[in-house]
Amino acid sequence: MYIVYLHGFNSSPASVKARQTQAFLNAHGLGDRFVCPTLPAMPDEAEAAIIKAVHGLPEVGFIGSSLGGFHATWAAERFGSKAVLVNPGVKPQHLLRDYLGWQQNLYSGERYFLDDSHVAAFARLEPPTFTAGRYWLMVQTADETLDYRQAVDYYAGARQTVEAGGSHSFEHFERHLPEICAFLGLPLPVAPTN
């Protein structure tokens, strides 16, 4: 089992939650089970990057943060996998209309122009249905970027953790990592007893 972390809008594999996940797996001797592709801004290219990243892996589970939650939903349906969605973007074809124009990746500094072709691609890639049992939705109510209630409604029927307060970055995410690994199907090694 490999854990594939999918970062959010204008983010990268250097994001805090990606690094926390990798550090946690490293500490448990499972660092080789962590995959975190760089997702291009264009949705079709991002999906191609995900396909390339998981090619040849026997079994995968996804963690998707913010816009990465949309990508994780697409990927979970395509590959029949489970996914943990952290403050996910729901229907980015609507959400990103407020961001049309020049954008800059916070980590790489790459600049690009977000236009209607991006929006149309997100609409085209949204799964028409999804299997609720594959998902664990994790949201914090004080998310300053997205309305957490949209995700709660969209992923009705999925396992849900709704924490009061917090932020879009999902504060104290790392404390959930043991349970996230269990949900995705990656057992942690048992520490030897003396």
Residue type, 118: H
What Cα–Cα distance (Å) separates residue 134 from each residue in 13, 34, 77, 102, 179? Answer: 24, 19, 9, 35, 15
Q: What is the pTM (predicted TM-score) of this model? A: 0.91
Q: Are strands 101-104 and 111-114 parallel, antiparallel or unpaired?
A: antiparallel
Q: pLDDT tens, 9-59?
A: 878 898 999 999 999 999 999 999 999 999 988 888 999 999 999 999 999
Which of 91-95, 118-122, 168-172 holds the top average pLDDT?
Answer: 168-172
DSSP string, 87-112: S--S-HHHHGGGG-EEEE-TTT--EE
What are φ and ψ of residue 99, in 5° steps? -110, 10
Q: pLDDT-derived band of residue 191, with 50, 70 and 90 as boundaries?
A: low
Mean pLDDT within 169-175? 94
Q: pLDDT-derived band of residue 7, with 50, 70 and 90 as boundaries?
A: very high
Query: Are the C-beta atoms of residues 58 and 80 closer than 8 Å to each other?
Result: no
Q: pLDDT tens, 145-161?
A: 889 999 999 999 999 99
Mean pLDDT within 73-102? 87
Q: Write b or e for each residue in 115-140: b if 16 or more Cβ atoms lie within 10 A of its Cβ, otherwise e.
A: eeebbebbeebbeeebeeebbbbbbb
CA–CA distance, 82 with 126 (Å, rounded to integer): 17
CA–CA distance, 85 with 20 (Å, rounded to integer): 16
Q: pLDDT tens, 111-129?
A: 878 788 888 888 888 888 8
Q: Which residue has the higher pLDDT, 148 or 97?
A: 148
Share of the chain above pLDDT 90, in %: 64
CA–CA distance, 80 with 122 (Å, rounded to integer): 20
Q: Which residue has the higher pLDDT, 105 or 70?
A: 70
Domains and CATH numbers, the chain: 2-184 (3.40.50.1820)
Q: Which residue has the higher pLDDT, 68 or 9?
A: 68
Q: pLDDT-derived band of residue 194, with 50, 70 and 90 as boundaries?
A: very low
* Nearest one of 1, 6, 15, 66 to 37, comparing CA atoms: 6
88: left (phi over 0), alpha (psi -120 to 50) or beta: beta
User: Residue 54: which residues within 8 A CB-CB, separation 6 or more?
Assistant: 2, 4, 35, 60, 75, 79
